[in-house]
Amino acid sequence: MLDVARIRAITLDLDDTLWPIEPTIRRAESTLQAWLSQHAPATAALCAVPGAIRQVRQQMNVERRDLAHDMSALRRESIRVMLVRAGDDPALAEPAFDAFFAARQQVTFYDDALAALEFLSSRYPVVALSNGNADVQRVGIGHHFCAAFSSTALRVGKPDPRMFQVGARAAGAPVDAVLHIGDDAHLDGVGALNAGMQMAWVNRWGLAWEHPVHQPHVTVADLRSLCELLA
């Protein structure tokens, strides 16, 4: 059971908690493809071949394990490999990635997200914890957070307890006084619980919790419901 009286700070996931990530990435990839069509048409044609991009990503996962926690570097390196294979200038990888990254920050929030951020940040210090590469400042929500950490910056990602411990320190609270909010049962749920936090699972799609040894302190269908519990 959630112990509201214990909560002194919040750590919060971003992708699929505040906005759906799949359409965000799909739009960003369309932007990248349009950029390549204009500046590197041979690469754009190669990227349009079914399975070509997936093959490069699989190659990166094997060959560049040093970038496992850096989504931006993995994306940039994948673009560079595609440029080389197509015979285009690999120096175009940087501006191509910039086009992708700018579009990746253009998110469509869930209907309850902005009101929930306003509520939470008015009551607690809130720290963003993400394995992705969303930038809370560029997204336009940075004023709600006292700190934001990505796996890129920390070189470690959820569910590693160290990421949650960093979040707690940034919020100025012991881990057992922090509530972590997120959508991923393993990355957010098991990670936060192993770190000693309370955990609120935002289960928008009615999924089954598949970690019997670990249980969230509360499961909610949306952030609005969670805010009502904390009010």
Query: Which CATH number is 99's domain given?
Result: 1.20.120.1600
Confidence category of residue 205, pLDDT binned at 50, 70, 90: very high
**Contact call for residues 19 and 189 (beta carbons, < 8 A):** no
Task: Say whether both 117 and 226 belong to one domain.
Answer: yes
Give the mean pLDDT of the chain: 95
Q: Is 144 left (phi over 0), alpha (psi -120 to 50) or beta?
A: alpha
- Last residue of a domain, which of 67, 83, 104? 104
> For the whole prediction, is pTM greater than 0.85?
yes
**Contact call for residues 17 and 181 (beta carbons, < 8 A):** yes
pLDDT given at position 187: 97
97: containing domain: 22-104
- Parallel, antiparallel or unpaired: strands 147-150 and 178-182: unpaired
Task: Say whether both 122 and 85 belong to one domain.
Answer: no
Task: Say whether both 99 and 192 belong to one domain.
Answer: no
Task: Say whether both 88 and 154 belong to one domain.
Answer: no
Taking residues 132-136, report their average pLDDT: 95
Domain count, the chain: 2
- Last residue of a domain, which of 104, 127, 142? 104
Q: Is the pLDDT of residue 82 over 80?
A: yes
Taking residues 116-136, report their average pLDDT: 97
- Last residue of a domain, which of 104, 124, 141? 104
